[in-house]
Amino acid sequence: MSEAILELKDVAVFQKESLVLNNISLQVNKGDFVYLIGKTGSGKSSFMKTLYGDLPLRQGTGQIVDVDLTKLKERDIPFLRRKLGIVFQDFKLLPDRNIYNNLLFVLRATGWKDRDKIDLKIQEVLEKVGMKTKGFKFPHQVSGGEQQRVAIARALLNDPELIIADEPTGNLDPQTSVEVMKVLQDINKAGRTILMATHDYALILKFPSKTLKLDGNRVFEVIQRAG
C-alpha cells in the first residue's frame, strides 16, 4: 500500500474571494515525482500556496505530510514548512550573506543550535547539489543555475518529506534547466517526494513522470508512464 504524502478531496482553491480551482481530488505518494502543468494564470501558484499554508484551505479536505490543511492555524505554519522543502523560481537567497550563511540562517531560524551538526548538515546539502566548494561565495558571484542549486540545498536542510518546487527552472536557460532537473531527479531517486510546477514541456519529455494539468479550474492527470 502506497503511503500518501499529499491527499486532497473535493478541494476548492480561492485567491481572496475569487475561485481559482474547483473539485480537486488527488493523491501524491511517498517517493513520487509529480509535475504540475498549466497555462499562466491557470492557478499553479495558488495551488502551491494552499499546500504550504500561504492560502487557507476553505473548502474540501486536505492532508499534507500528516498535517490537516483544514485545521491549519497561523501558528502551525512554521511547523508545516519545516516538513516541506520549498523551491521558488526566483531563488529567494539573501544577497547580503554568502551561500554558507544563507543556509546557516535557515537552520538557526528552525531551531538548530549545535555548531558541529549545523556545519555537517550544510556541507551535506551543498554536496548533494554539487556546490560544496562554493559556500564562501555570495549569491551574485554565482550563476542562476548555481543559485537555484543553493535554493534546492536550502530546501533539503530539514530533511523534508515533500519538496514543492514552483517553476524551479523558470529563470534558467535550457542547458542549466537540465542540470537543475538532474539534481532534483537524484534527490527523488534517494527517496524524496517532489511536486514541481513547470511550463517547460521539453523537461517533461526529457524526464517523463506523473503529470497533473490545471485547466479550466480543474486538475487532470495527463501522462502516466512508468518512470
The DSSP string of 126-150 is HHHTT-GGGTTS-GGGS-HHHHHHH
**Residue-level pLDDT at 216:** 86
CA distances 108 to 27, 122, 134, 187, Å, are 33, 12, 20, 24
**Residue-level pLDDT at 217:** 87
Partners of 162 in the β-ladder: 84, 193
- Four-way CATH pick for 1-83+161-227: 3.20.20.150, 3.90.330.10, 3.40.50.300, 1.10.260.40: 3.40.50.300
Q: In the chain, where does the domain assigned CATH 3.40.50.300 lie?
A: 1-83+161-227
Three-state DSSP class for residue 156: helix
Q: Region 180-189: what's the mean pLDDT?
A: 95
pLDDT at 224 over 60: no
pLDDT digits (tens, 9 = 90+) for 101-118: 999 999 998 889 999 999
Q: How far apart are CA 53 and CA 144, in angstroms?
A: 27
What is residue 169's DSSP assignment?
T
Judge contact between 138 and 95, C-beta under 8 A: yes
Res. 153 pLDDT band, cuts 50 70 90: very high
**Residue-level pLDDT at 225:** 53
Query: Residue ranges of the alpha helices (H) in 190-226?
Result: 201-206
Grid cell for residue 13: 482553491
Burial 21-38 (b: 16+ CB within 10 A, else e): bbebebebeeebbbbbbb
**Residue-level pLDDT at 82:** 87
pLDDT at 30 over 60: yes
pLDDT at 17 over 90: no
pLDDT at 122 over 60: yes
pLDDT digits (tens, 9 = 90+) for 191-208: 999 999 998 889 999 999
Three-state DSSP class for residue 193: strand
**Residue-level pLDDT at 182:** 95
SS (H, E, C) 99-121: HHHHHHHHHHHCCCCCHHHHHHH
In the chain, what percentage of residues exceed pLDDT 70?
A: 97
Q: Region 30-57: what's the mean pLDDT?
A: 92
Question: 79-83, 85-89, 115-119 — which one is most confidently predicted on average?
Answer: 115-119
**Residue-level pLDDT at 227:** 44
**Residue-level pLDDT at 226:** 47
Lowest model confidence (mean pLDDT) among 63-67, 89-93, 134-138, 204-208: 89-93
Q: Region 84-88: what's the mean pLDDT?
A: 92
**Residue-level pLDDT at 176:** 93
Three-state DSSP class for residue 178: helix
Helix (H) or strand (E) holding 78: helix 77-82
Q: How far apart are CA 172 and CA 56, in angstroms?
A: 31
